[in-house]
Amino acid sequence: MQLSIIGRYLRPPFQIAPPLFQSCVAAGFPSPAQDYIERTLDLNELCIQHPAATYFVRAEGSSMLQVGIFSGDILVVDRALKPSHGDIVIACIDGEFTVKELCTRPAMKLVAHNPAYPPISIDEGMTLELFGVVTTVIHSLSRR
Amino acid sequence: MPTSPLYALVDCNNFYASCERLFRPDLKDRPIVVLSNNDGCIVARSAEAKKLNIKMAVPLHQVQEIIDRENIAVFSSNYALYGDISARVMTILEQEAPSIEVYSIDEAFLDLSGLSTHHSLTDYGIRIRRRVQQDSGIQVCVGIAPTKTLAKLANHGAKQYPATQGVVDLSDRQRQRRLLKLLPVREVWGVGRRIAQRLQLQGINTALELADCDPAWIRNHYSVTLERTVRELNGLSCLEFDQQPPPRQQILCSRSFSKRITRYQDMHSAITQYCARAAEKLREQDGLARLVSVFIRTNPHSQSDPFYSNNACRLLPVPSADSRLLCQTALQLLKTLWKPDYRYMKAGIVLSDLYQPGCFQPTLFDHTESVSAKRLMQTMDLINNSGRGQLRFAGEMLGSGWQMQRNHLSPAYTTRWDQLPIARI
């Protein structure tokens, strides 16, 4: 580790604090836009409906390209939503999180959008463990 | 018409172990234990680990054999994870109740006074339980009663007896007495181990027997605090509902080292680090400290090493929250304490005599904290809380080898972009 001295630290007891005027004094012409300023947009508001119930999960693999999920994408997962037919969900299968489409009709099954992975049917008596519903995919175009 | 008080205690089940399991579906039925700082002792267990008769506060090496045999998953304490999940649970509770008092990382009291009595309280408890489980992924138990002490016991009952399905409503006097009769007196909130022993010697074994004691007799023979407990057990609310936890009266940062410290520079770095952390905590509660104390000690139980323990403190002219001034003071104190040729096991720093800004009256010639120092500290905290980098004092880097050991640390699943849980697609 390399260190270099960037300045001396003066001990506060030997310093005398100058008085500071905290508010600015307006001089000149007021901005004509002042009355029209709104707050900035917050992406959280767009992507997250239930902050306490929302977790981020990273996707790995390529079986969901058709629904727009690529390897490395960040999935916004809302646990507060009730999963229903057609939702993209995070399911716990064989001790792993996996991303699948939930189909509740005609029969309950989890579908991967890749012919290489057959759908997993959830028969009666089996418990389907879902971690949450994927609401948004964050896909960055620059991989820097 | 004043409403009679009604409280609910919501307590997470096996909280640390449940947090670890949340992002590890492969650990579904596996027993889990969580270790203390430096991976020393067991501080939390999953239900499966409790069934294997693994006790709290046992050193890891004493149960290593059973851990290997039963394939128990072992974790270092991941406070970043537990803190984040805890905040989520508390947020959900805030949405479900008129007001809440966060009592610890995994439990909170809800003030249900004035809640419409048309609804069944059990149904309300079930709704809270279901929502927390659904939204955060953590299981909780709910105890409802007219006093905090009874709510604690109701919660204990909800945990103990599966038939309750995690919710116990003790608003009814008859039910209160039935549960109190089943519980040993040491399970009562506010009754420590020693008081429980004394009570038992006097023939008071169950919570009900304590409730039936004469409050005046308890006050004379024990304390006002225990008298309050007796009244609370009889449904008379004596403990106030504090919505805001009071600011801490002192801030302590102390830890045992993973290896004994023998070199001054290692101790210098440890004290700087503890002091910087304590100052950070101080600023979190918007406080200023006037008294800085430092202590260092060797292992008091060692047969072979000579024992040394000492502490020193200094009163600052004016209270401060400036890490630079606090660290400098702590290090000056350390110099007066340090003796070579000892094998140090633990050190710590205490900031006390705390003030809120503007509450201290300086003399005419006292220097008060400058605006630029305050800004500097704010900027430092902002950078350190951003998760993108750390600003540290050079003195913290001087030594090495004594830092906290966390060999079984799970990822910061919810607080670091590079450590998110993975889902296969």
CATH number reported for the structural domain that contains residue A65 in this entry? 2.10.109.10
Least confident of A49-63, A84-98, B389-403: B389-403
A19 pLDDT more than 50: no
Query: Which of B115, B106, B110 lies closest to B8, judged by CA?
Result: B110
pLDDT digits (tens, 9 = 90+) for B333-364: 999 999 999 999 889 999 988 888 877 777 77
Distance in Å, alpha carbon of B37 to nearest chain A alpha carbon: 27
Residue B385 structure tokens: 């809380």
pLDDT for residue B368 is more than 70: no
Q: Which residues contact B422 (CB under 8 A, 6 or more apart)?
A: A57, A58, A59, A60, A97
Which of A3, A48, A55, A117 is the best substitution to test chain B (most B C-beta atoms within 10 A)?
Answer: A55
Domain assignment of residue A80, yes or no: yes
The pLDDT value given to residue A139: 92
- Structure tokens, A7: 């300045």
What are the tens digits of pLDDT across the range B108-158?
999 998 776 667 899 999 999 999 999 999 999 999 999 999 999 999 999
CATH class of B172-246: mainly alpha
Write out the H or E segment, with its range, that includes residue B232.
helix B224-233
Would residue A143 count as lying in a domain?
Answer: no
The boundaries of the domain holding residue A39 are 12-138
Chain B residues touching A10 at Cβ < 8 A: none
Listed by start position, the domains of chain B span: 1-171, 172-246, 251-397
* pLDDT(B41) > 70: yes
Query: Higher pLDDT residue, B175 or B246?
Result: B175
Residue in chain A lying closest to B87 (CA): A52
Same fold, B1-171 and B251-397: no
pLDDT at residue A15, rounded to an integer: 42
Q: Is residue A104 part of a domain?
A: yes
> Given pLDDT bands bounded at 50, 70 and 90, which one contains residue A14?
very low
Sheet containing strand B107-111, strands side by side: B99-104, B107-111, B7-12, B140-145, B167-169
Q: Could you tell me what percent of chain B has a pLDDT over 70?
A: 94
**What is the domain count for chain A?**
1
Residues in chain B whose Cβ is within 8 Å of chain A: 25-28, 87-89, 91-92, 95, 134-137, 317, 320, 322, 324-325, 328, 367-371, 373, 394, 397, 413-414, 417, 420-425
Asked: is B1-171 a CATH 3.30.70.270 domain? The reply is yes
Say whether pLDDT at A49 is over 50. Answer: yes
- What is the average pLDDT score of chain B? 89
Distance between CA B358 and CA A78 in Å, rounded?
44
Query: In CATH, what class is B251-397?
Result: alpha beta
Rounded Cα–Cα distance for residues B243 and B110 (Å): 9
Provide the whole-model pTM: 0.74
| Structural domain contains residue A3 | no
Does residue A27 sit within a domain? yes
Q: What is the pLDDT of residue A12?
A: 46
